[in-house]
Amino acid sequence: MSKKTALVTGGTGGLGTAICKTLANRGDVVIACHLPHELEQASQWQAQLKQEGIDANIIAGDVGSFDAAASMISTIEAEFGWIDILVNCAGITRDSTLRKMDEKDWDDVINVNLSSVFNVTRHVIEGMTERGYGRIVNISSVNGQRGQFGQTNYSAAKAGMHGFTMSLAQESARKGVTVNTVSPGYIDTSMTAAMPDEIRTSIVAGIPVGRIGEPQDIAHTIGFLTLEQTSYITGANIPVNGGMFMSF
Protein backbone atom coordinates (compact mmCIF):
# COMPACT_ATOMS: atom_id res chain seq x y z
CA MET A 1 0.00 0.00 0.00
CA SER A 2 1.45 3.39 -0.96
CA LYS A 3 2.04 6.11 1.59
CA LYS A 4 -0.88 8.52 1.91
CA THR A 5 -1.18 12.11 3.14
CA ALA A 6 -3.86 12.66 5.76
CA LEU A 7 -5.36 15.88 7.13
CA VAL A 8 -7.11 15.57 10.48
CA THR A 9 -9.09 18.63 11.60
CA GLY A 10 -9.20 18.90 15.37
CA GLY A 11 -6.13 16.68 15.13
CA THR A 12 -4.59 17.73 18.42
CA GLY A 13 -7.74 16.94 20.45
CA GLY A 14 -8.63 13.74 22.28
CA LEU A 15 -10.00 11.76 19.34
CA GLY A 16 -7.78 13.57 16.84
CA THR A 17 -4.60 12.57 18.64
CA ALA A 18 -5.50 8.88 18.59
CA ILE A 19 -6.43 9.14 14.91
CA CYS A 20 -3.15 10.91 14.03
CA LYS A 21 -1.13 8.29 15.89
CA THR A 22 -2.91 5.40 14.18
CA LEU A 23 -2.40 6.86 10.69
CA ALA A 24 1.22 7.90 11.37
CA ASN A 25 2.07 4.49 12.84
CA ARG A 26 1.06 2.76 9.63
CA GLY A 27 3.23 5.14 7.59
CA ASP A 28 0.89 7.90 6.45
CA VAL A 29 2.07 11.51 6.39
CA VAL A 30 -0.16 13.13 8.99
CA ILE A 31 -1.12 16.80 9.27
CA ALA A 32 -3.08 17.90 12.34
CA CYS A 33 -4.99 21.14 12.05
CA HIS A 34 -5.28 23.40 15.09
CA LEU A 35 -6.74 26.84 15.84
CA PRO A 36 -4.31 29.70 15.05
CA HIS A 37 -4.24 30.94 18.67
CA GLU A 38 -3.34 27.43 19.92
CA LEU A 39 0.04 27.28 18.18
CA GLU A 40 1.97 26.86 21.44
CA GLN A 41 -0.17 23.92 22.64
CA ALA A 42 0.01 22.38 19.17
CA SER A 43 3.82 22.64 19.13
CA GLN A 44 3.94 20.93 22.55
CA TRP A 45 1.61 18.24 21.22
CA GLN A 46 3.91 17.70 18.24
CA ALA A 47 6.98 17.49 20.52
CA GLN A 48 5.19 14.95 22.76
CA LEU A 49 4.39 12.73 19.77
CA LYS A 50 7.99 13.07 18.58
CA GLN A 51 9.15 11.75 21.97
CA GLU A 52 6.90 8.77 21.39
CA GLY A 53 8.60 8.23 18.02
CA ILE A 54 5.71 9.59 15.96
CA ASP A 55 6.15 12.26 13.28
CA ALA A 56 3.13 14.51 12.86
CA ASN A 57 2.88 17.86 11.11
CA ILE A 58 0.77 20.72 12.42
CA ILE A 59 -1.02 23.47 10.55
CA ALA A 60 -2.97 26.45 11.86
CA GLY A 61 -6.42 27.04 10.44
CA ASP A 62 -9.86 28.03 11.63
CA VAL A 63 -12.10 25.46 9.98
CA GLY A 64 -15.13 27.56 10.90
CA SER A 65 -14.08 30.02 8.18
CA PHE A 66 -14.39 29.18 4.49
CA ASP A 67 -11.54 31.51 3.50
CA ALA A 68 -9.23 30.32 6.29
CA ALA A 69 -9.89 26.72 5.26
CA ALA A 70 -9.05 27.60 1.63
CA SER A 71 -5.76 29.15 2.60
CA MET A 72 -4.90 26.21 4.91
CA ILE A 73 -5.50 23.70 2.10
CA SER A 74 -3.37 25.77 -0.34
CA THR A 75 -0.52 25.80 2.18
CA ILE A 76 -0.77 22.03 2.65
CA GLU A 77 -0.85 21.40 -1.09
CA ALA A 78 2.19 23.64 -1.62
CA GLU A 79 4.15 21.71 1.01
CA PHE A 80 2.86 18.13 0.70
CA GLY A 81 1.47 17.97 -2.85
CA TRP A 82 -2.04 16.77 -2.16
CA ILE A 83 -4.39 15.27 0.43
CA ASP A 84 -5.51 11.64 0.10
CA ILE A 85 -7.33 11.31 3.41
CA LEU A 86 -9.47 13.92 5.16
CA VAL A 87 -10.84 13.29 8.64
CA ASN A 88 -13.27 16.02 9.71
CA CYS A 89 -12.90 15.71 13.46
CA ALA A 90 -13.09 19.31 14.74
CA GLY A 91 -15.98 19.68 17.15
CA ILE A 92 -17.24 21.52 20.22
CA THR A 93 -20.17 21.31 22.62
CA ARG A 94 -22.21 24.15 24.11
CA ASP A 95 -24.74 22.06 26.02
CA SER A 96 -27.91 23.60 27.37
CA THR A 97 -31.62 23.02 27.12
CA LEU A 98 -33.18 24.91 24.22
CA ARG A 99 -35.06 27.27 26.49
CA LYS A 100 -31.71 28.51 27.87
CA MET A 101 -29.70 28.34 24.62
CA ASP A 102 -28.59 31.64 23.14
CA GLU A 103 -27.95 32.34 19.48
CA LYS A 104 -24.19 32.17 19.90
CA ASP A 105 -24.34 28.66 21.41
CA TRP A 106 -26.33 27.59 18.38
CA ASP A 107 -24.19 29.38 15.77
CA ASP A 108 -20.85 28.29 17.21
CA VAL A 109 -21.80 24.61 17.32
CA ILE A 110 -23.32 24.59 13.83
CA ASN A 111 -20.33 26.48 12.46
CA VAL A 112 -17.53 24.46 14.04
CA ASN A 113 -19.18 21.04 13.81
CA LEU A 114 -21.11 21.22 10.55
CA SER A 115 -20.13 24.21 8.38
CA SER A 116 -16.47 23.27 8.91
CA VAL A 117 -17.13 20.02 7.04
CA PHE A 118 -18.24 22.05 4.02
CA ASN A 119 -15.48 24.63 4.47
CA VAL A 120 -12.67 22.08 4.40
CA THR A 121 -14.08 19.37 2.13
CA ARG A 122 -15.05 21.93 -0.52
CA HIS A 123 -11.37 22.74 -1.05
CA VAL A 124 -10.22 19.11 -1.09
CA ILE A 125 -12.84 17.32 -3.16
CA GLU A 126 -11.77 18.57 -6.58
CA GLY A 127 -8.19 17.39 -6.16
CA MET A 128 -9.35 13.98 -4.92
CA THR A 129 -11.75 13.44 -7.82
CA GLU A 130 -9.18 14.63 -10.37
CA ARG A 131 -6.62 12.16 -9.01
CA GLY A 132 -9.26 9.44 -8.72
CA TYR A 133 -8.57 8.67 -5.07
CA GLY A 134 -9.77 9.91 -1.71
CA ARG A 135 -10.96 8.82 1.71
CA ILE A 136 -13.15 11.25 3.65
CA VAL A 137 -14.44 10.43 7.13
CA ASN A 138 -16.74 12.73 9.08
CA ILE A 139 -16.79 12.25 12.85
CA SER A 140 -20.39 12.58 13.98
CA SER A 141 -21.90 11.27 17.23
CA VAL A 142 -24.40 8.82 18.66
CA ASN A 143 -26.26 11.95 19.72
CA GLY A 144 -26.77 12.91 16.08
CA GLN A 145 -28.55 9.58 15.64
CA ARG A 146 -30.73 9.53 18.74
CA GLY A 147 -30.74 13.10 20.15
CA GLN A 148 -29.65 14.03 23.66
CA PHE A 149 -31.21 16.16 26.39
CA GLY A 150 -29.33 19.47 26.32
CA GLN A 151 -27.88 19.08 22.82
CA THR A 152 -30.30 20.44 20.22
CA ASN A 153 -27.44 22.37 18.61
CA TYR A 154 -24.92 19.50 18.71
CA SER A 155 -27.39 16.80 17.66
CA ALA A 156 -28.60 18.93 14.74
CA ALA A 157 -25.02 19.52 13.56
CA LYS A 158 -24.04 15.88 13.97
CA ALA A 159 -27.15 14.60 12.17
CA GLY A 160 -26.44 17.12 9.40
CA MET A 161 -22.95 15.72 8.95
CA HIS A 162 -24.32 12.37 7.87
CA GLY A 163 -26.67 13.99 5.34
CA PHE A 164 -23.59 15.66 3.89
CA THR A 165 -21.76 12.30 3.88
CA MET A 166 -24.51 10.47 1.98
CA SER A 167 -24.87 13.21 -0.64
CA LEU A 168 -21.15 13.64 -1.29
CA ALA A 169 -20.70 9.85 -1.32
CA GLN A 170 -23.12 9.70 -4.25
CA GLU A 171 -21.42 12.58 -6.06
CA SER A 172 -17.94 11.05 -5.76
CA ALA A 173 -18.60 7.29 -5.85
CA ARG A 174 -17.42 6.90 -9.45
CA LYS A 175 -14.29 8.96 -8.84
CA GLY A 176 -12.52 6.68 -6.38
CA VAL A 177 -13.46 8.82 -3.40
CA THR A 178 -15.32 7.25 -0.48
CA VAL A 179 -17.16 9.38 2.08
CA ASN A 180 -18.26 7.88 5.38
CA THR A 181 -19.41 8.91 8.83
CA VAL A 182 -18.24 7.46 12.12
CA SER A 183 -20.59 8.05 15.04
CA PRO A 184 -18.79 7.67 18.36
CA GLY A 185 -20.63 7.11 21.60
CA TYR A 186 -19.30 8.50 24.89
CA ILE A 187 -15.50 8.48 24.66
CA ASP A 188 -13.01 9.31 27.40
CA THR A 189 -11.88 12.79 26.26
CA SER A 190 -11.99 16.33 27.66
CA MET A 191 -15.42 16.73 26.02
CA THR A 192 -17.07 14.07 28.16
CA ALA A 193 -14.91 15.03 31.18
CA ALA A 194 -16.57 18.48 31.05
CA MET A 195 -20.02 16.98 31.67
CA PRO A 196 -21.52 17.13 35.17
CA ASP A 197 -20.17 14.06 37.03
CA GLU A 198 -23.53 12.59 37.96
CA ILE A 199 -24.88 12.84 34.40
CA ARG A 200 -21.74 11.27 32.91
CA THR A 201 -21.79 8.48 35.48
CA SER A 202 -25.43 7.65 34.82
CA ILE A 203 -24.95 7.69 31.01
CA VAL A 204 -21.85 5.46 31.21
CA ALA A 205 -23.71 3.06 33.52
CA GLY A 206 -26.23 2.51 30.73
CA ILE A 207 -23.67 1.56 28.04
CA PRO A 208 -24.17 -2.13 27.20
CA VAL A 209 -20.45 -3.02 26.99
CA GLY A 210 -20.06 -1.61 30.50
CA ARG A 211 -17.40 1.03 29.96
CA ILE A 212 -16.80 4.45 28.44
CA GLY A 213 -15.13 4.29 25.01
CA GLU A 214 -11.43 4.93 24.45
CA PRO A 215 -10.15 7.26 21.69
CA GLN A 216 -8.42 4.20 20.23
CA ASP A 217 -11.83 2.59 19.66
CA ILE A 218 -12.56 5.40 17.20
CA ALA A 219 -9.06 5.56 15.74
CA HIS A 220 -9.15 1.84 14.77
CA THR A 221 -12.35 2.46 12.82
CA ILE A 222 -10.88 5.48 11.03
CA GLY A 223 -7.80 3.42 10.20
CA PHE A 224 -10.03 0.79 8.60
CA LEU A 225 -12.21 3.21 6.62
CA THR A 226 -9.18 5.02 5.21
CA LEU A 227 -7.48 1.92 3.79
CA GLU A 228 -7.20 1.53 0.02
CA GLN A 229 -8.96 -1.84 0.43
CA THR A 230 -12.17 -0.36 1.81
CA SER A 231 -13.16 1.17 -1.53
CA TYR A 232 -16.60 -0.51 -1.47
CA ILE A 233 -17.74 1.16 1.76
CA THR A 234 -19.21 4.58 1.04
CA GLY A 235 -22.08 6.64 2.41
CA ALA A 236 -22.08 4.51 5.57
CA ASN A 237 -22.54 5.65 9.16
CA ILE A 238 -20.48 3.38 11.39
CA PRO A 239 -21.59 3.39 15.05
CA VAL A 240 -18.79 2.95 17.62
CA ASN A 241 -20.78 3.37 20.79
CA GLY A 242 -20.49 0.28 22.99
CA GLY A 243 -24.02 -0.74 21.99
CA MET A 244 -25.76 2.32 23.45
CA PHE A 245 -27.68 2.91 20.21
CA MET A 246 -28.50 0.06 17.85
CA SER A 247 -30.41 0.33 14.58
CA PHE A 248 -30.75 -1.35 11.18
Could you give the C-alpha distances from 62 to 21, 150, 151, 176, 226, in angstroms and in order?
A: 22, 26, 23, 28, 24
- Residue span binding ligand CAA (CB under 6 A) among the ranges 22-30, 146-154, 162-170, 206-214: 146-154
Instruction: Report the C-alpha gap between 234 and 177 in whole angstroms.
Output: 8
Q: Is 223 in the site for ligand CAA (CB under 6 A)?
A: no
Q: Taken in order 25, 158, 91, 114, is the CA torsion positive or negative?
A: positive
Tell me, yes or no, if 186 is annotated catalytic. no
Instruction: Report the C-alpha gap between 59 and 39 in whole angstroms.
Output: 9
Q: What is the rounded end-to-end Cα distance, in angstroms, of the chain?
A: 33
In the window 167-186, what residues touch ligand CAA (CB under 6 A)?
184, 186
Determine which residue in the list 50, 81, 149, 171 makes contact with ligand CAA, applying CB under 6 A. Answer: 149
Determine which residue in the list 81, 102, 130, 199 makes contact with ligand CAA, applying CB under 6 A. Answer: 199
Smallest distance from the beta carbon of 193 to ligand CAA, in angstroms?
9
- Residue span binding ligand CAA (CB under 6 A) among the ranges 52-60, 62-70, 172-180, 188-196: 188-196
Smallest distance from the beta carbon of 104 to ligand CAA, in angstroms?
16
Q: Is 95 in the site for ligand CAA (CB under 6 A)?
A: yes
Residue nearest to ligand CAA (CB): 150
- Residue span binding ligand CAA (CB under 6 A) among the ranges 9-17, 28-36, 92-100, 228-236: 92-100
Q: Which is nearer to ligand CAA, 77 or 107 (CB)?
A: 107
| Residue among 138, 143, 133, 144 nearest 115 (CA) | 138
Q: Which is nearer to ligand CAA, 62 or 95 (CB)?
A: 95
Which positions touch ligand CAA (CB under 6 A)? 93, 95-97, 100, 141-143, 148-151, 154, 184, 186, 191-192, 195-196, 199
Catalytic residue numbers read 154
